[in-house]
């Protein structure tokens, strides 16, 4: 009558906790020779307990994270310069405590990323603000290049004018060059993107590999 209790394969797709309860139920049925009515009652109780535990876990998770908010997130890995399209971004629900104050709440009609995004990462106004600054200040004869910054660098924002002091090390140690009036396009945690003349790109790239760059903030004019 209870031959189906010996069928284990169909239950392997169930969570481990459910399979453990099922194994205990089988043991009770065999050990105490429970009748068919008692068996089905036990199955109903097992399903109810499983449902109650799942509901309780979901409620605890919701209470822990609080309310959620719908924001725009990356649907796949995106690199600097990628265009924002319906295929690359989507709406996603995130705990309100984890949503930045400048999170984008509606998919933008167009735009280009100034920093990379990982799948599921929230799109913020900072990603788009840097793009707008770049389109306004990067001339056709200029190039955008990243330079390292640290705690000793003056506070920078997009639109600032800076001078770049290029210091060579190695065989040419001690040699210095200067790039004047570079325009800051975007600022990150460890680097800043600046607009420089095309003729200065090679010198900057050289010291990025084997040298150092000092960023000096200057006033316009």
Torsional sign, CA 30, 34, 39, 41: negative
In tens, the pLDDT along 128-165 reads 755 555 555 566 778 888 899 998 999 888 778 899 99
**Mean pLDDT value of segment 39-60:** 66
Q: Which domains does the chain have, with CATH numbers?
A: 3-65 (no CATH), 66-123 (3.90.1210.10), 138-221 (no CATH)
**What pLDDT does 42 receive?**
62
What is the model's pTM?
0.42
pLDDT above 70 as % of the chain: 61
In tens, the pLDDT along 77-88 reads 988 767 788 888
Asked if residue 5 has pLDDT above 50, the reply is no
Asked if residue 12 has pLDDT above 50, the reply is yes
**What pLDDT does 91 receive?**
92
In tens, the pLDDT along 53-74 reads 666 666 665 655 567 889 999 9
Choice between 40 and 161, residue whose per-residue pLDDT is larger: 161
How many angstroms separate the Cα of 186 from the Cα of each of 54, 92, 113, 116? 46, 26, 11, 13
Asked if residue 183 has pLDDT above 70, the reply is yes
């Amino acid at each position: 009558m209870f031959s189906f209790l010996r069928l284990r394969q169909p239950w392997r797709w169930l969570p481990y906790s459910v399979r453990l309860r099922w194994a205990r139920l089988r043991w009770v049925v065999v050990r105490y020779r429970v009748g068919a009515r008692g068996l089905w009652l036990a199955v109903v109780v097992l399903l109810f307990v499983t449902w109650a535990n799942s509901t309780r876990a979901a409620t605890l998770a919701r209470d822990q994270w609080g309310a959620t908010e719908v924001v725009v997130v990356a649907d796949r890995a995106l690199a600097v310069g990628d265009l924002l399209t319906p295929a690359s971004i989507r709406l996603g629900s995130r705990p309100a405590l984890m949503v930045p104050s400048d999170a984008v709440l509606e998919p933008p009609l167009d735009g280009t990323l100034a920093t990379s995004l990982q799948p599921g990462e929230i799109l913020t106004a900072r990603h788009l603000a840097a793009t707008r600054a770049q389109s306004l200040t990067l001339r056709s004869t200029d190039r955008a290049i990243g330079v390292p910054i640290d705690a000793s660098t003056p506070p920078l924002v997009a639109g600032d004018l800076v001078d770049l002091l290029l210091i060579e090390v190695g065989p040419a140690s001690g040699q210095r060059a200067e790039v004047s009036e570079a325009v800051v396009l975007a600022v990150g945690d460890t680097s800043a993107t600046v607009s420089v003349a095309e003729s200065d790109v090679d010198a900057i790239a050289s010291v990025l590999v084997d040298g150092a760059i000092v960023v000096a903030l200057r006033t316009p004019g």
